[in-house]
């Protein structure tokens, strides 16, 4: 049985920020809450993923901010499920959270029917359990011209103003939030220890692809917000890559078939309705360009450690080589440098390292509330990648620790990196694809259960899987736009 998650002791002057994130956006928002609280002089701020906080300790807190994303069809993130089950216990009475002040901010997409359901349900449950709302729930919407930050900016300002009115000691430097000092940069989340290839090659050898991927993912701070399974469950071979739409069609719809080569392992265990996660490869030239732009040695090895861990000197790392990985491999497996857009805070961090004054001013403007809409147009709308942004501001030379701390993780692709990569794979060539199998949103129905499946906008693939799984085939009706 796993040990319960550790929870630091509560303090009356502490602001606790708990987030549940699936792709990293809620983590970004939660970290921003923490940064602004620190700028306001809050005596103690803790930002924690929801699955690392013991929910039984919640009544001991004075102020808690929850940041919750939405996944699937109004489902909570994986890291929220255990916490939510605990809150639903009948033994928790209507006064269980009496004296606890809370605020909830949700991230969702109003294009879906169950818009921000996890955040809305959490807000109602906390209220039922006796907690007192500091301000009303905030609902971030991907449909907003500025994304979820269009709602987060005014919601945060209201949160700080409300806390400042009721508890002056919590935010003694309110001006630090309203007019932040952009000349001071917080510490990076990690420290990186570098090894030359000569130091490592004699004592370190990791040729197993699955173990290598697991090692890289375990070292990445940006992947800690997900249920990180580490090593891939399978390394699958593509055996069929068939385009279903005409060559002159704007839509490239494909049928893929994957199998588990007997030389690697045998069989694939899954249930109908499960989801297949794959790790695509990045363009090697993009990785090389990123390494060159950041002045990184592609052949060196690194160890990444969280700043709050006990620091160990390089000379005392008896088994340190077993924690290291080639820098170029780490970038290729964990950092989406040529597909996803960087976070908003990334621009603020860049401004600290810009030596050209006009670049510094532009980056500070992008990071400010006034520049939010222009940043959204430049960054998300125009689809700038991390590499392209760094190339647009050539005077910026960021330490790799800062890039690792605030880069875009390899879970938040935007421009079809995964599907484009799959479409280009040749089944006649040996290309092993790292894969993980996860439970789907719908449990497999019993074979005797009659099914009426309606999914406007979802595509017919999930339903086709349910129908094909049954011994007797059924009728599947679908339409194309």
Indicate the pLDDT class of residue 19, thresholds 50, 70 and 90: very high
| Residue 154 token pair | 């005014």
Mean pLDDT of 55-74: 93
CA pseudo-torsion sign 337, 339, 340, 341: positive
**Contact assessment for residue 98 and residue 61, using Cβ atoms and an 8 Å cutoff:** no
More confident residue, 179 or 387: 387
**Contact assessment for residue 442 and residue 469, using Cβ atoms and an 8 Å cutoff:** no
More confident residue, 317 or 175: 175
- What pLDDT is recorded for position 2? 39
Is residue 213 domain-shared with residue 144, that is, in the same domain? Answer: no
Query: Which structural domain, as residue segments, surrounds residue 430?
Result: 233-270+414-444
Single pTM value for the model: 0.75
* pLDDT, the chain, mean: 81
- What pLDDT is recorded for position 467? 75
Mean pLDDT of 341-349: 87
In a domain, 359, yes or no: yes
Is residue 323 domain-shared with residue 470, that is, in the same domain? Answer: no
Is residue 64 domain-shared with residue 74, that is, in the same domain? Answer: yes
In a domain, 6, yes or no: no
- What pLDDT is recorded for position 324? 82
- What pLDDT is recorded for position 83? 95
| Residue 237 token pair | 């071979």
In a domain, 5, yes or no: no
More confident residue, 113 or 53: 53
In a domain, 474, yes or no: yes
Is the predicted pLDDT of residue 64 greater than 50, yes or no?
yes
Indicate the pLDDT class of residue 283, thresholds 50, 70 and 90: confident
Closest CA to 468 of 441, 438, 444: 444
Is residue 304 domain-shared with residue 440, that is, in the same domain? Answer: no
In a domain, 126, yes or no: yes
Is the predicted pLDDT of residue 371 greater than 70, yes or no?
yes
Residue 125: give its domain's CATH number: 3.40.50.360
Indicate the pLDDT class of residue 139, thresholds 50, 70 and 90: very high
In a domain, 8, yes or no: no
Residue that is last in its domain, among 352, 387, 408: 408
Q: Residue by residue, what is the 3-state secondary structure of the chain?
A: CCCCCCCCCCCCCEEEEEEECCCCHHHHHHHHHHHHHHHCCCCEEEEEEHHHCCHHHHHHCCEEEEEEECECCCECCHHHHHHHHHHCCCCCCCCCCCCCEEEEEEEECCCCCCCCHHHHHHHHHHHHCCCEECCCCEEEECCCCCCCHHHHHHHHHHHHHHHHHHCHHHCCCCHHHHCCCCCCCCCCCEEEEEECHHHHHCCCCCCCHHHHHHHHHHHCHHHCCCCCCCCCCEEEEEEEEEECCCCCCCCCCEEEEEECCCCCCCCCCCCCCCEEEECCCCCHHHHHHHHHHCCCCCCCEEEEEECCCCCCCHHHCCCHHHHCEEHHHHHHHHECCCCCCCCHHHHHHHHHCECCHHHHHHHHHHHCHHHHHHHHHHHHHCCCCHHHHHHHCCCECCCHHHHHHHCCECCCCCCCHHHHHHHHCCCCCCCEEEEEEECCCCCCCCCCCCCCCCCCCCCCHHHHHHHHHCCCCCCCCCCCC
Is residue 122 domain-shared with residue 260, that is, in the same domain? Answer: no
Residue 321: give its domain's CATH number: 1.20.990.10
In a domain, 3, yes or no: no
Tally of domains within the chain: 4
Is residue 308 domain-shared with residue 423, that is, in the same domain? Answer: no
C-alpha 156/C-alpha 105 separation (Å) is: 9
Triad 351, 357, 362: Cα angle to 5°: 55
In a domain, 371, yes or no: yes
Is the predicted pLDDT of residue 148 greater than 80, yes or no?
yes
- What pLDDT is recorded for position 390? 94
Is the predicted pLDDT of residue 109 greater than 50, yes or no?
yes
Backbone angles phi, psi at 250, to 5 degrees: -70, -25
Mean pLDDT of 215-230: 64
Indicate the pLDDT class of residue 112, thresholds 50, 70 and 90: confident
Is the predicted pLDDT of residue 396 greater than 80, yes or no?
yes
| Residue 226 token pair | 């997900």
What are the pLDDT digits (tens) for 229-241? Answer: 678 888 888 889 9
Closest CA to 391 of 297, 298, 296, 294: 294
Backbone angles phi, psi at 309, to 5 degrees: -80, 160
Is residue 355 domain-shared with residue 329, that is, in the same domain? Answer: yes
Is residue 34 domain-shared with residue 108, that is, in the same domain? Answer: yes
CA distances in angstroms from 19 to 34, 47, 68, 76, 449, listed in the order given:
11, 8, 6, 11, 38
**Contact assessment for residue 26 and residue 107, using Cβ atoms and an 8 Å cutoff:** yes
- What pLDDT is recorded for position 441? 65
Indicate the pLDDT class of residue 209, thresholds 50, 70 and 90: confident
- What pLDDT is recorded for position 205? 52
- What pLDDT is recorded for position 22? 83
- What pLDDT is recorded for position 312? 37
Is residue 369 domain-shared with residue 265, that is, in the same domain? Answer: no
- What pLDDT is recorded for position 275? 81
Mean pLDDT of 92-121: 93
Is residue 261 domain-shared with residue 123, that is, in the same domain? Answer: no
Is residue 263 domain-shared with residue 287, that is, in the same domain? Answer: no
C-alpha 256/C-alpha 238 separation (Å) is: 7
Is residue 172 domain-shared with residue 211, that is, in the same domain? Answer: no
More confident residue, 307 or 376: 376
C-alpha 431/C-alpha 236 separation (Å) is: 8
Closest CA to 294 of 397, 418, 200: 397
């Amino acid at each position: 049985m796993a040990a319960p998650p550790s929870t630091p002791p509560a303090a009356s002057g502490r602001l606790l920020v708990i987030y549940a994130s699936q792709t990293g956006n809620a983590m970004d928002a939660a970290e921003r809450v923490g940064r602004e609280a620190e700028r306001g002089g809050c005596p103690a701020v803790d930002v924690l993923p929801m699955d690392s906080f013991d929910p039984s300790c919640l009544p001991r807190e004075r102020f808690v901010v929850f940041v919750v994303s939405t996944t699937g069809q109004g489902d909570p993130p994986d890291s929220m499920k255990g916490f939510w089950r605990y809150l639903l216990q009948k033994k928790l009475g209507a006064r269980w959270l009496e004296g606890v002040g809370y605020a909830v901010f949700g991230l969702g997409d109003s294009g879906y029917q169950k818009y921000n359901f996890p955040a809305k349900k959490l807000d109602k449950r906390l209220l039922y359990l006796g907690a007192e709302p500091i301000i009303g729930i905030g609902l971030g919407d991907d449909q907003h011209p500025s994304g979820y930050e269009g709602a987060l900016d005014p919601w945060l300002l209201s949160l700080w103003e409300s806390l400042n009115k009721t508890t002056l000691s919590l935010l003694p430097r309110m001006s630090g939030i309203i007019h932040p000092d952009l000349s001071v940069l917080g510490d990076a989340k990690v420290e990186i220890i570098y090894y030359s290839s000569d130091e490592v090659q004699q004592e370190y050898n990791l040729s197993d692809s699955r173990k290598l991927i697991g090692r890289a993912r375990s070292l990445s701070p940006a992947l800690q917000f997900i249920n990180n399974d580490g090593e891939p469950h399978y390394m699958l071979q593509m055996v069929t890559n068939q385009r279903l739409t005409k060559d002159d069609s704007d839509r490239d719809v494909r049928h893929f078939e994957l199998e588990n080569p007997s030389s690697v392992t045998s069989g694939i265990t899954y249930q109908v309705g499960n989801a297949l996660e794959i790790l695509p490869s990045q363009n090697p030239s993009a990785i090389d360009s990123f390494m060159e732009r950041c002045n990184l040695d592609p052949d060196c090895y690194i160890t990444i450690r969280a700043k709050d861990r006990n620091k160990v000197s390089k000379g005392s790392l008896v088994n340190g080589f077993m924690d290291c990985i080639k820098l170029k491999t780490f970038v290729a497996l964990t950092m989406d440098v040529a597909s996803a857009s960087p976070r908003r805070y990334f621009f603020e961090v860049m401004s600290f390292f810009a030596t050209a004054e006009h670049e510094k001013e532009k980056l500070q403007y992008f990071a400010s509330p006034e520049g939010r809409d222009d940043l959204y147009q430049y960054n998300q709308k125009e689809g700038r990648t991390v590499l392209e942004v760094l190339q647009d501001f050539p005077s910026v030379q960021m330490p790799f620790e800062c890039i690792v701390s605030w880069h875009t993780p390899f879970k938040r692709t935007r421009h079809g990196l995964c599907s484009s990569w799959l479409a280009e794979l040749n089944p006649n060539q040996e290309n092993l694809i790292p894969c993980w199998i996860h439970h789907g949103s719908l449990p497999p129905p019993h074979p005797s259960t009659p099914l009426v499946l309606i999914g406007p906008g979802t595509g017919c693939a999930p339903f086709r899987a349910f129908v094909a799984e049954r011994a007797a085939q059924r009728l599947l009706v679908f339409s194309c736009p």
